[in-house]
C-alpha cells in the first residue's frame, strides 16, 4: 500500500505530515511513501532528503491522490477543501481534522466513502502516548508563547545584580497547566522569570510546583473539573465569574499572562476581562493560546496583536507551524506510530476493540462513526458494531 504525503494547503501552514527519517520506519509495516514535490520544503526537509530515504516523489497532486491508498495530513481537508474532489472511496485519511470544531467535513468524508482517522481523538492511555499529536503540538505552542512574551515585554526576564543596580525578575502568570501551560512554565523559568500558575484541576498542583512555579489557589470548588482523558472540563458561567473575581489581583501583579484554557469543540471560557487588562501595568503582555476558540481574554482577536490600556494582547493561532522543523519531526513520529498500530504487512487492521482505533475512527463505509461528531451533526446514534480483520 502507498502512503501519500500531500503539501499542506491550510493558510500559513509550514509543517509536513511525514519527514524523511520516518520513511524507512513505515516501510517496516509494509507501506511505501509517495511525496508531493516540495511538501517538506518550508519545514526544512527538501525533496532530496525524502528520496535518499527511499520515498518516491510526484509533482502532480492529482496523481498523488490517484496512487495513494493512505493520505496523511497535518491539517486534513475541511468542508471547503478542493482535496475532497480528489479523494475516492476506500482511501484512508489520517490527520488533524478538527472534528468537534468543524464537524461538517466528517459528513463530506463519509459521503466520499473515505475511512478517516482523527488524531485529535487519540485516547490518553499509556500505549497511545507516542501517537498523541495534540500533546506534541501543545508542547511547541507553550514554548513559543513564552518566547513571544519575552520578546515583546519591555523588561528583561531574569533578576540581575549589576553595578547599575538590581533588576527584579519579570512575573509570569500561566493560566491552565495542561501540556502547553506546563511548557510555558518551564520555558519562562529557564528565561529567569518568577512564575505563578493556576488550573481548575487541583491535581496538577504538584506538577506545577515541581517545575519551580508557585501554584495559585483560588479557594473555589473544583470537584468534577477534570474530564475524561485528563482534560479540563467546561464549567458553568457562575464558576468562571467567581474565578475571574479572585484571579484579578494575580493578573494585575503580573508582567505577562499566558492563557491556555481551551475546551475541545467548545467556545474558550473568558478568564481575563477587559477590566482586568485595564488594571495591568502599562507594557504588560497577554498571550492567548485559546485565541482560535474565541480566546480566554475578552479583548483577544484571533491572528492579531492588539493594544488596550497600554497592554499588548496577542492572539496567535497555529503556533507549532512557526517552528516547522521540529514540529514536523514530532508530528511525523506521532503519525508513524499511528500507522504502525493500524497496519501490519501492508494491510489495514480495523480492530475496533483497540481503543486507539475505536476512538479515532471518524468515518468508514459511508458513515460518520464517532458518537460525539454524530451528535454535533444531528445524526441518530449508531447501533453497536464491531469490525475485525483487514480491509483495504
Q: Which residues are known to be catalytic?
A: 124, 129, 132, 135, 231
Name the residue among 187, 151, 150, 139 with its Cα closest to residue 327.
Answer: 139
List the beta bridge partners of residue 367: 364
Cα distance between residue 45 and residue 22, in whole Å: 12
Segment (H or E) for 86: helix 83-86
User: What is the Cα Rg of the chain in Å?
Assistant: 22
For 67, 125, 264, the CA distances from 228, given in Å and listed in that order, are: 39, 11, 12
Cα distance between residue 190 and residue 157, in whole Å: 9
Name the residue among 224, 164, 168 with its Cα closest to residue 192.
Answer: 168
CA count, 13 A, side-chain hemisphere, 352:
12
Segment (H or E) for 210: helix 205-210
Amino acid at each position: 500500500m502507498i502512503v501519500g504525503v500531500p503539501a499542506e494547503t491550510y493558510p500559513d501552514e509550514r509543517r509536513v505530515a511525514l519527514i524523511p527519517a520516518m520513511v524507512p520506519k513505515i516501510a517496516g509495516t509494509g507501506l511505501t511513501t509517495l511525496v508531493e514535490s516540495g511538501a517538506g520544503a518550508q519545514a526544512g526537509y527538501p525533496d532530496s532528503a525524502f528520496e535518499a530515504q527511499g520515498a518516491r516523489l510526484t509533482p502532480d497532486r492529482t496523481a498523488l491522490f490517484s496512487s495513494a491508498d493512505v493520505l496523511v495530513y497535518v491539517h486534513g481537508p475541511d468542508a471547503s477543501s478542493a482535496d475532497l474532489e480528489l479523494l475516492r472511496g476506500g482511501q484512508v485519511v489520517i490527520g488533524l481534522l478538527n472534528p468537534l470544531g468543524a464537524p461538517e467535513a466528517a459528513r463530506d468524508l463519509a459521503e466520499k466513502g473515505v475511512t478517516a482517522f482523527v488524531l485529535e481523538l487519540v485516547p490518553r492511555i499509556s500505549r497511545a502516548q507516542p501517537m498523541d499529536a495534540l500533546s506534541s503540538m501543545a508542547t511547541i505552542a507553550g514554548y513559543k508563547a513564552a518566547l513571544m512574551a519575552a520578546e515583546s515585554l519591555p523588561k528583561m526576564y531574569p533578576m540581575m545584580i549589576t553595578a547599575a543596580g538590581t533588576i527584579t525578575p519579570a512575573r509570569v502568570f500561566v493560566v491552565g497547566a495542561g501540556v502547553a501551560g506546563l511548557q510555558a512554565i518551564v520555558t519562562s523559568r529557564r528565561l529567569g522569570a518568577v512564575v505563578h500558575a493556576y488550573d481548575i484541576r487541583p491535581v496538577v498542583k504538584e506538577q506545577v510546583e515541581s517545575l519551580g512555579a508557585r501554584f495559585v489557589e483560588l479557594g473555589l470548588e473544583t470537584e468534577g473539573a477534570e474530564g475524561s482523558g485528563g482534560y479540563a472540563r467546561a464549567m458553568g458561567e457562575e464558576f468562571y465569574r467567581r474565578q475571574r473575581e479572585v484571579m484579578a489581583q494575580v493578573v494585575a501583579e503580573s508582567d505577562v499572562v499566558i492563557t491556555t484554557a481551551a475546551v475541545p469543540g467548545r467556545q474558550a471560557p473568558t478568564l481575563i476581562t477587559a477590566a482586568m487588562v485595564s488594571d495591568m501595568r502599562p507594557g504588560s503582555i497577554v498571550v492567548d493560546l485559546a485565541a482560535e476558540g474565541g480566546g480566554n481574554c475578552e479583548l483577544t482577536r484571533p491572528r492579531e496583536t492588539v493594544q488596550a490600556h497600554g497592554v499588548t494582547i496577542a492572539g496567535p493561532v497555529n503556533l507549532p507551524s512557526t517552528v516547522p522543523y521540529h514540529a514536523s519531526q514530532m508530528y511525523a513520529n506521532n503519525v508513524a506510530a499511528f500507522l504502525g498500530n493500524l497496519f501490519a504487512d501492508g494491510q489495514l487492521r480495523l480492530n475496533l476493540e483497540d481503543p486507539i482505533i475505536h476512538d479515532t475512527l471518524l468515518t468508514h463505509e459511508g458513515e460518520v462513526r464517532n458518537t460525539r461528531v454524530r451528535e454535533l451533526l444531528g445524526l441518530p446514534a449508531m447501533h453497536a458494531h464491531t469490525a475485525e480483520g483487514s480491509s483495504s
